Structure 1
Amino acid sequence: MLPRTRKVDTVAIIPARGGSKRLPGKNLLPIGGKPLIEWTIDAALNSNVLDLIVVSSDDEAILALASRKGVRVVTRPAELARDDSPTSEALLHALKELECEHIFPQTVMLLQPSSPLRASDDIVKSLAVMVEEKCNSVISVCEVDHSPLWCNTLDESKCMDSFISTDIKNKRSQDLPVFYRLNGAIYIATTEIYKKEKSFFVENSRAYIMSRARSVDIDTADDLRFAEFVMQRFG
């Protein structure tokens, strides 16, 4: 008898290496009373729009925490958990492991644990964009703190004569166009296209705009402290 194939609409994959060069043990560091990765797991669980949540890690403590939370775990090989290992390799490995269990998701969502302030509501709304816009991918962004039009490079002389273009010099900041940046919180794509392109940056893609307050990306100890401040300040 052939194994039963299980098709699911959306799988969320949370890649969480045990190592971190700039912030050792980052994914298990405490923030707001619980390990960093737990914020992302809880947001995914509480969204109630995901058919399957998977944590991919090479770290036994992270895998054990994920198992206690009731989500599926995938043990990532050491060669896919180096400092220079692309996140795409972890996602493709997790998808392949699911296929070995005859699980074939239609849509894949990447939720990085370094974005603890991403809310369940953001997961729900970003997935809604994917459905309503009938697009191939959705990527979260937020408004930049300062317009890049006020930025430039400097040579050794540090001369500022042409630092800002003439048509920008006398404009107020509120009169400049709004720029957005990637915030690393949410990436969604159809599984078929992601496996083919190995990227979320594909044709027919849309942005999901998040607030700057929810867009803190944990990379350093200062980021961790700032995120905790935002949690305490805004709840």
Structure 2
Amino acid sequence: MGRPAVNGGRAPRVLAVIPARGGSKGVPGKNTALVGGVPLVARAVRACRAARPVTDVVVSTDDPLIAAAAIAAGAEVCVRPAHLSGDASASEAALMHALNRFEAEHDVTVDVLLMVQCTSPFITVTEVSDVASAVLDDGADTAHTVAPFHGFIWRESDGTAETDAAGAQGVNHDKAFRLRRQDRPQEFVETGAAYAMRAGGFRQAGHRFFGRTVLVPTDPGRVLEIDEPGDLQRAHALAPLFGTGDAAVPALPRRVDVDAVVIDFDGTLTDDCVWLDASGRETVAVHRGDGLGIAALRRAGVKVLILSTEKNPVVAARARKLAVPVMHGIDHKDVALTKWCEEQGIDPQRVLYAGNDVNDVPCFALVGWPVAVADAQPEARAAARTTTTSRGGHGAVREIAAWLLGKELYKP
């Protein structure tokens, strides 16, 4: 008999929580320390955001500098209370707090919970994806990253056992008869980088190693945990070999990368809901912050287009309000987008397209910056280069404008 489905048939909600308190004693301020020019917490956020199974990314912190770096990298922030921020605070307690807070604030049920450590500077998108997939697809209750290990472990005597007269003892070997490497069973070291678990099982067990645990082997050459100043120095030395983080994890787009922003309407500028009155007239809700973002993009010289399959006059009305061109009632959005780029003299690779559903995927394939909103359909998220933390109709377009313009967004 197979294991029960993770999500009961609906699209799974996969929440990645990055614990990052501000009170490190060994390396003060380590979670915002730069490795390859990128704050450690931002490296972890980028890896999670680029991992296709992950739907949401939250940084649990008590530190405003960490919170600012996390938000800039595209994560939500869960403010950790003081009683969970001390040196002796358990990671599981912070995870449970973030899980409970996220579900309550978003009115959702999380299916798979990830813990990703920003003290592992060279974590990859693949590692995050693989631990999540072990639970989502392979029937594991829990999974975590490990590295193959072939060394001999010793333990010094403490003077209390009868064997202490023999001195130090082998832990994973008999010092009197040591097998060759090829004759020994393979052992693994827990890397501390990424963990995944069924959220319901975690609530019941209270820890992250319940049920059937799957090990996800990783490249031992990339394994490094920053616990003391020497570890941070090694990370600085290794960063040029492993890249700045941008090679493995795409950075968010900047103004210099984008000449035009093309926006889907239903589900991107709206929350994908429609209200009908007795006469059959449709109305939708939009977000004022998105209007602010679009106005800022226009002031900055970025071309903006609304492109929609919807034929309802509300689409054109919203475009008029925003003073941007609109193409609606379009069956083949990719064809229309290609023609528009040609007419405007814009390289599609310098276009950011924001969408939420399967009919946006052909446009995603044409542009350099395909972006899915946070609650997009799985097919759209899988085809996107990056994903907003805001849902469609809840400020996703304003978030994109903030990526591109930074502080310029707030200039009149």
Give the TM-score, by structure 1 length. 0.87
Q: 1:96 to 1:155 in 2, by over 3 A?
A: closer
Secondary structure of the residue that 1:37 maps to in structure 2? helix
Code of the residue aligned with 1:68 in structure 2: it is: A
Corresponding residue for 1:3?
Answer: none
Q: Report 1 or 2 for greater relative contact order, CA contacts < 8 Å, sequence distance ≥ 6.
A: 1
Asked whether the equivalents of residues 143 and 197 of structure 2 are also in contact (C-alpha less than 8 Å), the reply is yes
Secondary structure of the residue that 2:204 maps to in structure 1? helix
Task: Say which of 158, 165, 170 aligns to 2:174.
Answer: 165
Task: Say which of 55, 58, 69 aligns to 1:54.
Answer: 58
Q: How many pairs align?
A: 227
Corresponding residue for 1:74?
Answer: 78
Task: Say which of 23, 30, 33 aligns to 2:37.
Answer: 33
Q: 1:59 to 1:174 in 2, by over 3 A?
A: same
Q: 1:152 to 1:58 in 2, by over 3 A?
A: closer
Shift of 1:233: 2.6
Secondary structure of the residue that 1:184 maps to in structure 2? strand
Asked whether the equivalents of residues 122 and 242 of structure 2 are also in contact (C-alpha less than 8 Å), the reply is no
Code of the residue aligned with 2:152 in structure 1: it is: S
Q: Give 5+ residue unaligned stretches, structure 1.
A: 1-5
Secondary structure of the residue that 2:137 maps to in structure 1? helix
Corresponding residue for 1:86?
Answer: 90
More strand by share: 1
Task: Say which of 179, 189, 202 aligns to 2:210.
Answer: 202
Task: Say which of 156, 168, 191 aligns to 1:153.
Answer: 156
Separation (CA, whole Å) in 1 of partners of 2:64 and 2:169 = 54
Shift of 1:10: 0.3
Shift of 1:175: 3.4
Separation (CA, whole Å) in 2 of partners of 1:177 and 1:190 = 29
User: What are the superposed Cα offsets for residues 183-229 of structure 1, whole Å, 9 maximum, x if unpaired?
Assistant: 11111111101111111111111111112122211111111122233
Equivalent runs, 1:1-235 vs 2, <5 Å: 9-101=13-105, 102-144=107-149, 146-148=151-153, 151-154=154-157, 159=166, 165=174, 168-169=177-178, 171-235=179-243
Secondary structure of the residue that 1:82 maps to in structure 2? coil
Q: 1:19 to 1:131 in 2, by over 3 A?
A: same
Code of the residue aligned with 1:80 in structure 2: it is: L
Shift of 1:160: 5.4
Shift of 1:97: 0.8
Separation (CA, whole Å) in 1 of partners of 2:85 and 2:20 = 9
Q: Answer with 1 or 2: which has the greater Rg.
A: 2
Q: 1:158 to 1:31 in 2, by over 3 A?
A: farther
User: What are the superposed Cα offsets for residues 130-172 of structure 1, whole Å, 9 maximum, x if unpaired?
Assistant: 2332111111111226133xx2424668855976636634x33
Give the aligned CA root-mean-square deviation in angstroms.
2.3
User: Percent identity at matched positions?
Assistant: 28
Secondary structure of the residue that 2:193 maps to in structure 1? strand
Secondary structure of the residue that 2:13 maps to in structure 1? strand
Code of the residue aligned with 2:215 in structure 1: it is: A
Code of the residue aligned with 1:201 in structure 2: it is: F
Secondary structure of the residue that 1:53 maps to in structure 2? strand
Give the TM-score, by structure 2 length. 0.51
Q: Give 5+ residue unaligned stretches, structure 2.
A: 1-9, 244-412
Poorly superposed stretches of 4+, deviation over 3 Å: 154-164, 171-175
Separation (CA, whole Å) in 1 of partners of 2:18 and 2:28 = 18
